[in-house]
Amino acid sequence: MSFPRSLFLILVFCLSACDDLNPSGEDKRTPVDTNVIGPGVGQIAYDFSLFDTETNTVTMSAELASVDAIVLYFTMWCPICDAHMSHMRTQVIPNYPNVRFLIIDFVSGTIEDSRTAQVNNGYTDMTVLVDLDAEAEINYEGTMGTTVVIQNAGGQGIILMNEDYKDSVRLTQTLDSLP
């Protein structure tokens, strides 16, 4: 039996595309500049003002002034986001009374639609921010399930985590590291 030509080509391509079949484990990403505003861990958090679903203006720096950290969770009101938010509400939020948790709705399009989604999904006890102009989505590189932890570092927000929510382990590890 002969080796199919298509499998041979795929194998050659895969082997030639790999830089190193025995990687070192070293992080080769470009380091972020920690002295600038940006979405990367260690960078200064972008300050924003967004409406909540009750038309109040919420400013990140003002919210951060009275807590140890803020957690932003980007939602699309889908079953996956609902599972993440439900898990956060029961397993994470009660353990961190000096951390402010904010949901960012970046897809509903209007304050009214966001409020409807908030009520229909049972989140009236949480603050939901409406990202009408994609301000937070762009500046934090947020997508469905993105979770951002911003530490209050002497009045300045520093990003400690910016990644997809997979489970509460990374989030709680990050929150446990707060001074």
* Bridge partner residues of 50 (DSSP): 58
Closest Cα partner for 177 from 156, 155, 159?
A: 159
Residue 5 scores a pLDDT above 90: no
Per the domain annotation, does 94 fall within a domain? yes
Per the domain annotation, does 6 fall within a domain? no
Per the domain annotation, does 27 fall within a domain? no
Per the domain annotation, does 8 fall within a domain? no
Closest Cα partner for 33 from 43, 23, 25?
A: 43
Per the domain annotation, does 24 fall within a domain? no
| Reported pTM | 0.82
Per the domain annotation, does 1 fall within a domain? no
CATH, residue 65? 3.40.30.10
Q: How far apart are CA 116 and CA 124, in angstroms?
A: 10
Give the number of domains in the chain. 1
Per the domain annotation, does 159 fall within a domain? yes
For residue 118, give the amino acid letter.
Q
Per the domain annotation, does 111 fall within a domain? yes
DSSP state of 116: H
pLDDT in tens, 131-145: 999 999 999 999 999
Q: What is the mean pLDDT of residues 55-82?
A: 95
CA distances from 82 to 19, 89, 144 (A): 39, 10, 11
The band of 165, judged by pLDDT with boundaries at 50, 70 and 90, is very high
Take residue 91 and report the two structure tokens written for it: 């397993």
Residue-range definition of the domain harbouring residue 115: 35-176
